[in-house]
Structure formats: C-alpha cells, structure tokens
Chain A
Amino acid sequence: MKPFFKLIPVLVLSFFMASCAASGPKFTELSNSISTLPPDTGRIFIYRTSFLGAGVQPEVKLNGEIIGKAIPQGFFYADRKPGNYEVLTSTEVDRRLSLTLNSGQVRYVRLDVSFGFFVGHVFPVLVEDEVGKSEIQECRYEEFKRSEKQIEKKEPGDELQ
C-alpha cells in the first residue's frame, strides 16, 4: 500500500500539469496546414516551453492587441505588416519585448518564466530562428478565442511609431 500512497502526489502533479498545458495539435502535425505567409507581411511565432509556474498564464499582447495566452507547451502566431512591434505580458509586472518585422520575415518569441514576488513573471524573449524552429516542434497550437468585449473594442493600429 505504501508505494501506492507515494505515487498519489506524482499523479496529482501530472494531472495538474496536463490540465495546465496546451491541448491543440502539435506543431509537427500542423506545420503543413499552416497558411503560407501572405505577401507584404511577416510572421511572429510565440511559444512557451516551460512548465515552471504552469498556473500563471497571462495574455500576450502585440502592440496592445491580445493575440493569445502564455500556455505551457503552447504556441500561436500572428501575421503582420512590416514595422515595429512590442510583445507584452502582464503578471504582477509588465514585461516587454520590442522587435522589428520585415516583409517575408519569420520571428520566434519564446515566453520564459522567472520567479516573482507573489507570482512568477512570464517574459518574452526573441530567439534565433534555428532555436525557435527546433523548440516549437513539440508545442501545441492554442487558438485564442476573443471575448465579445474584445471584438467590440476597436483594434489598435499595427505600427508602433
């Protein structure tokens, strides 16, 4: 009986981790069906590999527009016109990443987690293309469903400056 009881916390933890993780199709399964980049646009992939602070899943904003959530093992992407962009995550603090996007360019932004005062901080990091391409393979697509409020709200423009 004793070994069984020892397994309970492990099972509870695995259940918790699984429920916090992304549930969509894997990038490898989806990569063929991801649309090709429209002309005069660039693509920003945003993904999170870390399970650290799995319960902390802030929304991710691109130039003020919510485009997804920082779900462990999850990814999503946004196609945008060339220009300047800011990726923002908010927990107890705001963490920003500023980047440029050119036409036809694909950029990879990883959401890392660090310890915080009350909750963990999720912060966006611009990674090398090779690193991004490799790390995103096992992540699962997380479609972001906008709430009615967000749909009604006027979308901000793409250009930062």
Chain B
Amino acid sequence: MIVEEEISVSMELQEMLTENGYKSKSKRARNRVGFCLIVVFLLHACAFDVVHLRQSSCQIEKVKSNGKSFRLGKEVQVTLDTGYSRKLKDGVRWDYVGVIPLGEVFRTNDQILTVEGSNIFEAYIVVSSGKLVGFYLPVEKTFSSISQPIELEIIELKYIQ
C-alpha cells in the first residue's frame, strides 16, 4: 500500500512539474514574440530612414516653350508610393520649366508642392499627354514617378509667352 501511494504521489509531482515547465516555457516564448513584435512596431512606426522615395536621376532640358503655361481646372489628389498624399489645387497656374525624357516639367508659385518620404523634397510636376506622370525634384535633379498616371483638367494659357 505504501509503495503504491508513493508511486502515485511521485507521478502527480512529475505531472505538475512537466505542466509547470511547459507553461513557463510557453510563457517565455510568448513574451519573446511579444517583445519582438513591439520592437518591430516601434522600428516601423517611428524610427529611422524607413520610407524611401524612389528617384531616378535625370537632366532637364530648357527647351523654349510657346505659351505652355496652364491652369488646373479641377483639384487633383495624388497618393504617392510612400503613402503620403498631395493636393494639386484647382485654379493654380503652372509654368513650363523644361523637358525631361518622361514628360514636360511645370512649376508654380501659387502653392507649395513637396513630395515626402522620410525626408521632404520640393517638387515640380511632370506631365505627359495631359497626364500627371510624376514629380521632378529640382534640388536633387531627379524624377520620382507615380504608379498610376492621373488625368489633368488642363486649361491652356496660350497668350502667355
């Protein structure tokens, strides 16, 4: 009888130990996963140079325009590949600056236009066949495209030289 009782007690103890051991191991693993998730979240959310703006270097040719300035007939909302969005206000006058292989470059004094990743860059618009195809960054001398070209409502100002 005593031997049987001893055996049953030791089995119970073993079960408890394994159970506790298992529980503590799983708890530790969960804590580690949680910690890693928090670190990843913090790194992603707020730290460092994580949002890059894709740019390709390009040369602007200052070909003389023949009254290519225009006004925008309708406001345009542009969502950049970095996730930030920008508005091109209606009624704003855009003046021809030059041409790059991907289209014609226009700038304005009527609104501030910047494109944004982790850093912010002043930008001009690049238009091809009446569509906004991307941005020209005058300081960096680069082009940054948008994934979906956007149709612009262009009101040409032909009298402007």
A19-27, A110-118, A150-158 - interface stretch:
A110-118
Task: Please tell me if the beta carbons of A93 and B47 are within 8 angstroms of each other in the complex.
Answer: yes
Binary interface profile of A, 97-115, with partner B (CB < 8 Å = 1, else 0)?
1111000000000000011
Instruction: From known contacts A96-B120, A126-B122, infer whether A115 and B46 are also in contact, taking CB-CB under 8 Å.
Output: yes
Bound-state CA distance A123–B139 (Å) is 18
Would you call A84 an interface residue if the criterion is a C-beta within 8 Å of the partner chain's C-beta atoms?
yes
Number of A positions contacting B (CB below 8 A):
25
Bound-state CA distance A125–B122 (Å) is 10
- Seen from chain A, the residues whose Cβ lies within 8 Å of a Cβ on chain B are 84-86, 92-100, 114-117, 121, 123-128, 160-161
- Seen from chain B, the residues whose Cβ lies within 8 Å of a Cβ on chain A are 42-43, 45-49, 111-112, 114, 118-122, 137-141
3 closest A-B pairs by beta carbon, nearest first, are: A98-B139, A117-B47, A96-B119
Question: Can you show 20 pairs from A to B with CB atoms below 8 A apart?
Answer: A85-B139, A86-B139, A93-B48, A93-B49, A95-B119, A98-B120, A98-B121, A98-B122, A98-B140, A99-B139, A100-B139, A114-B46, A115-B46, A117-B43, A123-B120, A125-B114, A126-B112, A128-B111, A128-B112, A161-B139
